[in-house]
Amino acid sequence: MIVKKLIFNERNRFITLALIVPVALLLCFVVYPIIELIRMSFTDWDGISLTKTFIGLQNYKEMLFDSPNLWISLKNNGLYFFIHLLVIPVEIILAIILDTKFRGSKFFKTTTFMPYIINGVAIAYAFSFFYSPVNGGLNELLKMLGMEGFIQNWLSDPKIVNYSLAAISIWKYSGYHIVLFLAALQSLPQETIEAAVIDGANSWQKFRFILLPGITIVLDFVLFSNVRGALQVFDIPFVITSGGPGYASSTFSLYTIDTAFKYNNFGMASTMGITIMFLIIVITLTQSRIVKLFRKD
């Protein structure tokens, strides 16, 4: 009995000591910054002054009712979100195709994942040349194909600039999602799939009742990544268009950083940071509830 008690005490001591460092890091780099961000959102701090004047909900009121350019930026984030959301079914289908292990499937797995590991700034610079109206690769390709009528100013036309930038984002992240879905499909028990085929299940029934419920955990993660990524888009529009023309391609993160460092309004920028965090939480919880419906079925 004494030996068991000593072992139990030693184990608890080891667990406590092992948790000290990660808990301390969590408090220092997650909890404290969030508390500080909330506190600053109720001030008019300019990032330089030693004093921070408490102004209550003024920043929140100004953000909601007096910042039309901010809502344009948020609408652009929404475009990224919905375009990526529409592409997710295509990514699942491609993962199912790659799971069939046809000749050359390994090559296609590698090539689809390659864009994800390339630096985002490098990708942005490469596509800025690709979309260039002067000898740009895309317009030259359209000329070669005899499709001059489709030639556009891809980065200077406010009507299409966000679609051009969203296409870059899809090219970069879709391969990563495909690999995740592929890993989830390969982890499913083959016996269950084979039994369904023997019982006469067609392709749609196999997908609806076996494959889709089996990858819901990965689907939940991809949907969360989509929300977080879409609401925090920064590098691609920053490098390629700097949010232009005007605010046509600005995003919430880009507008927040400009508010903090270009206009020295850290109080308002903190308010925007709290808002984007709240939006990510709300949309993620909503998506998780929807995904759970597939698990129950």
Digit-coded pLDDT (tens) for 49-83: 888 889 989 999 999 888 888 889 999 999 999 99
Mean pLDDT of 13-36: 86
Cβ distance 240 to 127 under 8 Å? yes
Comparison of pLDDT for 9 and 196, the residue scoring more: 196
The yes-or-no verdict on residue 104 having pLDDT over 80 is no
d(CA 75, CA 290): 23
**94 three-state secondary structure:** helix
**239 three-state secondary structure:** helix
Closest CA to 220 of 279, 293, 297: 293
The mean of the pLDDT values for the chain is 86
Residue 4: pLDDT band (50, 70, 90) is low
Mean pLDDT of 152-162: 91
Residue 11: pLDDT band (50, 70, 90) is confident
Residues 74-89 have pLDDT tens digits of 999 999 999 999 999 9
- The predicted pLDDT at position 8 comes to 55
- Range in 22-36, 223-237, 247-261, 282-296 with the lowest mean pLDDT: 282-296
The yes-or-no verdict on residue 96 having pLDDT over 60 is yes
The yes-or-no verdict on residue 163 having pLDDT over 90 is yes
d(CA 214, CA 175): 20
Closest CA to 77 of 271, 219, 226: 226
The pair of structure tokens assigned to 83 is 């375009």
How many CB atoms within 10 Å of residue 158? 13
How many CB atoms within 10 Å of residue 242? 12
